[in-house]
Amino acid sequence: MNQRKGSQFAGLAVAIITPFRDGNLDVARLREQIEFQIDAGTNCIVPAGTTGESPTLSHDEHERVIAETIACVAGRVKVMAGTGSNSTAEALRLTRRAAAEGADATLQVAPYYNKPTQEGMYQHFRAIAEDIDIPVCVYNIPGRTGKNIEVETIQRLAELPGITMVKEATGSLDQCSAILGTTDLTVLSGDDSLTLPMMSVGAEGVISVAGNVVPGVMLELVRAAASGDYTTAAALHHRLYAFCSIMLGLSTNPIPVKAAMQMLGRDTGELRLPMVALDDRERAILQETLQKFGIESTVG
């Protein structure tokens, strides 16, 4: 396969959670999460994304999570910093700071809530790509943002040297195929359950939520698909699909992921309002799901 613009970010990237303790950022636990991912073989760590509760981080916390991640990683794997915003000026400020700290790339979510036109989307991403020297991954998740970045807009963005990747979370294999067939961008799945289908048409990996809990199995799937071993990849896909569909179907991400990590003794499970914890029924389902997957929880 021809090398694409962002192929150095192929593989498993994990959008890590942000640990809190007593309402504050838990830096020691953040470092534990990073070491856990590096030990598992994860290729890239993505701090301060939606999974990292970026909407409820203060600006100082947002910058600190990214800086601490880069410092802890110390070049051992790649760091793609979540520095997007629905304000172009704010996205520029966050991205400049992350680049100065040493981020390897930036994850730029489509501007949310204010629903810009396609020309507005183009000008937003162009302003960022032309301002900084690190690669930009455009994050298209209309279920969260309220607006799709259309294929034609992504085709225009692909002509900009700084834009090298798309985190594709439209849920549309057609949109994924159209991007891969008409651009040289690297596509990374933004939905754990669509990783294999998307890789079968040329995507190069995933920015994963479930990887917070089961990075090893996610990595096996990505490696099998990348090597063309679709028999193994399909078996792993179905195993992960059963796990992810139940866990991530319980509540809004990252609520069930943090609950799972609490059960596994890897997080406090603490969230910030307006995110609230799973109820007892949902926790029981999650506990059973972990056990069925073969992960023993340490907390009832």
pLDDT at 262: 98
d(CA 179, CA 185): 8
Domain count, the chain: 1
Reading the chain (300 residues) residue by residue, the pLDDT tens digits are 568 999 999 999 999 999 999 999 999 999 999 999 999 999 999 999 999 999 999 999 999 999 999 999 999 999 999 999 999 999 999 999 999 999 999 999 999 999 999 999 999 999 999 999 999 999 999 999 999 999 999 999 999 999 999 999 999 999 999 999 999 999 999 999 999 999 999 999 999 999 999 999 999 999 999 999 999 999 999 999 999 999 999 999 999 999 999 999 999 999 999 999 999 999 999 999 999 999 977 764
Tell me how far CA of residue 50 lies from CA of 9, 15, 83, 246, in angstroms: 19, 8, 11, 19
Asked if residue 57 is part of any domain, the answer here is yes
d(CA 189, CA 170): 9
Asked if residue 91 is part of any domain, the answer here is yes
Selecting among 78, 147, 167, 258, the annotated active-site residue is 167
pLDDT at 299: 60
- Domain containing residue 103: CATH number: 3.20.20.70
Is 95 within any annotated ligand binding site?
A: no
pLDDT at 236: 98
| pTM beyond cutoff 0.85 | yes
Asked if residue 107 is part of any domain, the answer here is yes
Asked if residue 82 is part of any domain, the answer here is yes
Per the CB < 8 A criterion, the answer to whether 141 and 170 are in contact is: yes
Residue 181's closest CA among 151, 161, 207? Answer: 151
Selecting among 78, 139, 147, 258, the annotated active-site residue is 139
Per the CB < 8 A criterion, the answer to whether 38 and 219 are in contact is: no
pLDDT at 1: 52
Asked if residue 53 is part of any domain, the answer here is yes
Asked if residue 69 is part of any domain, the answer here is yes
pLDDT at 2: 65
Asked if residue 212 is part of any domain, the answer here is yes
Domain enclosing residue 113, as ranges: 7-225
139: annotated active-site residue: yes
Q: Where are the alpha helices (DSSP H) in 5-58?
A: 27-40
Is 51 within any annotated ligand binding site?
A: yes
User: Which residues pair with residue 13 across a beta bridge?
Assistant: 44, 207
Asked if residue 167 is part of any domain, the answer here is yes
